[in-house]
Amino acid sequence: MAKALVLKDITKRFPLVLANDHISLDLNWGEVLALVGENGAGKSTLMKIVYGLQPPDKGEMWVDGKPYRPKSPLDAIAHGIGMVHQHFMLVEPFTVLENLVLGLEPGSPLYLDLDEARKRATALMEELGFQVPLDERIENLPVGLQQRVEILKALYRQAKILILDEPTAVLTPQEAEELFRFLRAYVSKGNAAIFISHKLKEVLSVSDRVTVIRDGRVVGTVKTPETSLEELARMMVGREVVLRVEKGPAKPGEVVLEVEGLEAPPRLRGVSFFVRAGEIVGIAGVEGNGQTELVEALAGLRKYRGTVRYLGHPLPHLALKVREAGVSHIPEDRLARGLVLDFSVRENAILGDQHRPPFRGFLGFLDGKAMEHHARTLVETFDVRPRSTDLSARRFSGGNQQKIVVGRELLRGPRLLIAAQPTRGVDVGAIEFIHQRLVEARDQGLAVLLVSADLSEVISLSDRILVMYEGRIVGELTPEEAKEERLGLLMAGVPA
Ligand SMILES: Nc1ncnc2c1ncn2[C@@H]1O[C@H](COP(=O)(O)OP(=O)(O)OP(=O)(O)O)[C@@H](O)[C@H]1O
Ligand SMILES: [Mg+2]
């Protein structure tokens, strides 16, 4: 039988990097092939080539044994290839149903298709075993559901080969489980899938084989039962990776943040806690239990009721003032809040501090030299690749964009860091690195409030763990007490 997809010598050069360097790989019908590699290794670039979003400089492809040279995603779709992107591509003000039909039949007015579309979509959802509210607008859906819409959209177009670029970065563990069940069922019907993820545990559990890419080249392909987390990490990074955080006990000092009866609609229903200098307090919880509201309220981005004291004084209600007071914030959504994508690294590196010295120079103009120096320090200290300060943020891979945000927030020397999903979309090597920087900053007296959907991150990084459920804190645990099972139960609302 012909292979689902064969790539041979795919090569793609961007001005600063050789993103794909003679990549060859194949995908069998009936299998999930995982694609792993460090941030910037070239995974998304390769998949965009397969999906017809950009042409390769060189190389050949075959789909089901036939030569394949897509000129656009329409070609890819016509060949039975669907893609769920790293960053969602849905049209927000439109409904789910409209998004399904959108762009499918050029020239045919939207309203004509909707009834038929509803029938097909309903049948498809039944077959897949998941539901999405068809008449809801995309902007009103939580990310987990948005992602189902992306999958539904690809399958609606009868994709036989499904490409998923970091589909689980924004999913809760439960949602991820559901996705994996779907993927296994999908390939067992004879389809094929390519799955990109930095979560190596998931990779091992869902895929049949794993192809590892480093610096644009294939390092090797391994069968999942025959490999391990450690081996994959080593192949990706090219050295041993410490998968555990190495840190000594915290030596907490004065109370930096004190929160009392904090409420913020729609989901934060009253929380009280404190964070001291020199400690990392982790908030564990299934996403959507008020964490977003909590973080945004503290960062001055959302209205709230209740008392928030910072170093003994009321914390201002305004984002810029909060920053000025020495509070840093790593936002959960780096694209919406963390970066201005069309700005260069140099500009992004001072975002929020542009009005202050040393960046605001003579006569109030921005001081180019100071900015360049700062940006250079950031890309070097935080291993941003490529090491460019000119490149716009848009041109960096997802994980490198995240490093730019984390670097900026740490380098400004805050007293308090509110870190929401600080390693989302970041590769294992970079996670190790970011964790070490956070622990180092803690040891120098930084107070850290960590919000993460990644349980193992919360457990390994935090000195104290608060569990949030339905807008309240339902328990406090030490990391030793927080075995994943106990924590999982608390997170699901089961009292300890
Ligand atoms: N349009 C572009 N212009 C210039 N450089 C680009 C462009 N798109 C990607 N690159 C560069 O190509 C390299 C590969 O990027 P790619 O997005 O494929 O990485 P990735 O493996 O998907 O990483 P991540 O895990 O962080 O998502 C990176 O160095 C990136 O900066
Ligand atoms: Mg990518």
Q: Is 107 a domain residue?
A: yes
Q: Are residues 269 and 204 in the same domain?
A: no
Given 237, 266, 300, which residue is the final one in a domain?
237
Ligand 1: atom nearest CA of 43 is: 21
Report the C-alpha gap between 465 and 461 in whole angstroms: 10
Q: Is 245 a domain residue?
A: no
Q: Is 310 a domain residue?
A: yes
Nearest residue by C-alpha to atom 16 in ligand 1: 42
Q: Are residues 228 and 346 in the same domain?
A: no
Residue 40 near ligand 1, beta carbon < 6 Å = yes
Q: Is 244 a domain residue?
A: no
Instruction: Report the first-to-last Cα separation within the chain, whole angstroms.
Output: 54
Q: Are residues 203 and 307 in the same domain?
A: no
Q: Are residues 144 and 69 in the same domain?
A: yes
**Assigned token pair, 148:** 């189902």
Q: Is 248 a domain residue?
A: no
Q: Hey, which of 13, 35, 38, 44 would you mutate to test ligand 1's pocket, going by the most ligand atoms within 8 Å of its Cβ?
A: 44
Q: Is 243 a domain residue?
A: no
Residue 386 near ligand 1, beta carbon < 6 Å = yes
Residue 462 near ligand 1, beta carbon < 6 Å = no
Q: Are residues 193 and 325 in the same domain?
A: no
Q: Is 250 a domain residue?
A: no
Q: How many domains does the chain have?
A: 2
Nearest residue by C-alpha to atom 28 in ligand 1: 40
Residue by residue, what is the 3-state secondary structure of 156-172?
HCCCCEEEEECCCCCCC
In this structure, what are the phi and psi dihedrals at residue 166, rounded to the nearest 5 degrees?
45, 60
**Assigned token pair, 77:** 């779709």
In this structure, what are the phi and psi dihedrals at residue 187, rounded to the nearest 5 degrees?
-75, -25
CA of residue 403 to ligand 2 center, whole Å? 14
Residue 3 Rama label (left phi>0; alpha psi -120 to 50; beta): beta
Residue 37 near ligand 1, beta carbon < 6 Å = yes
Measured from the alpha carbon of residue 387, the closest ligand is 1
Q: Are residues 286 and 394 in the same domain?
A: yes
Nearest residue by C-alpha to atom 27 in ligand 1: 398
Report the C-alpha gap between 444 and 464 in whole angstroms: 18
CA of residue 17 to ligand 1 center, whole Å? 9
Q: Are residues 130 and 51 in the same domain?
A: yes
Structural domain of 463 = 255-491
Nearest residue by C-alpha to atom 6 in ligand 1: 395
The SS3 call for residue 73 is helix
Q: Are residues 64 and 197 in the same domain?
A: yes
Residue 17 near ligand 1, beta carbon < 6 Å = yes
| Average pLDDT, consecutive stretches of 10 residues, N- to C-terminus, the chain (496 residues) | 96 95 98 96 96 97 98 94 83 86 58 78 86 89 82 91 88 82 93 95 95 96 94 89 84 97 95 98 89 94 95 93 95 84 94 83 80 96 94 92 95 96 89 93 97 88 95 92 78 75
Report the C-alpha gap between 401 and 248 in whole angstroms: 29
CA of residue 444 to ligand 2 center, whole Å? 33
CA distances from 265 to 75, 170, 262, 330 (A): 45, 22, 10, 21
Report strand pairing: 5-13 vs 18-27. antiparallel
CATH code of 336's domain = 3.40.50.300
Q: Are residues 306 and 173 in the same domain?
A: no
Residue 400 Rama label (left phi>0; alpha psi -120 to 50; beta): alpha
| Residues 177/182/184/185 CA torsion (nearest 10 deg) | 140
User: Do 207 and 218 touch, CB atoms closer than 8 A?
Assistant: no
Report the C-alpha gap between 454 and 456 in whole angstroms: 6
Report the C-alpha gap between 191 and 162 in whole angstroms: 8
Residue 395 near ligand 1, beta carbon < 6 Å = yes
Given 179, 208, 237, which residue is the final one in a domain?
237
Q: Are residues 217 and 275 in the same domain?
A: no
Given 237, 270, 291, which residue is the final one in a domain?
237
Nearest residue by C-alpha to atom 22 in ligand 1: 44
Q: Are residues 221 and 264 in the same domain?
A: no
Q: Which residues contact 47 (CB under 8 A, 6 or more apart)?
A: 35, 83, 163, 165, 194, 196
pLDDT at 261: 97
Average pLDDT, the chain: 90
Q: Is 242 a domain residue?
A: no
User: Do 289 and 174 touch, CB atoms closer than 8 A?
Assistant: no
Q: Which residues contact 485 (CB under 8 A, 6 or more apart)?
A: none
The SS3 call for residue 139 is helix
Ligand 1: atom nearest CA of 216 is: 14
pLDDT at 106: 46
Q: Are residues 144 and 273 in the same domain?
A: no
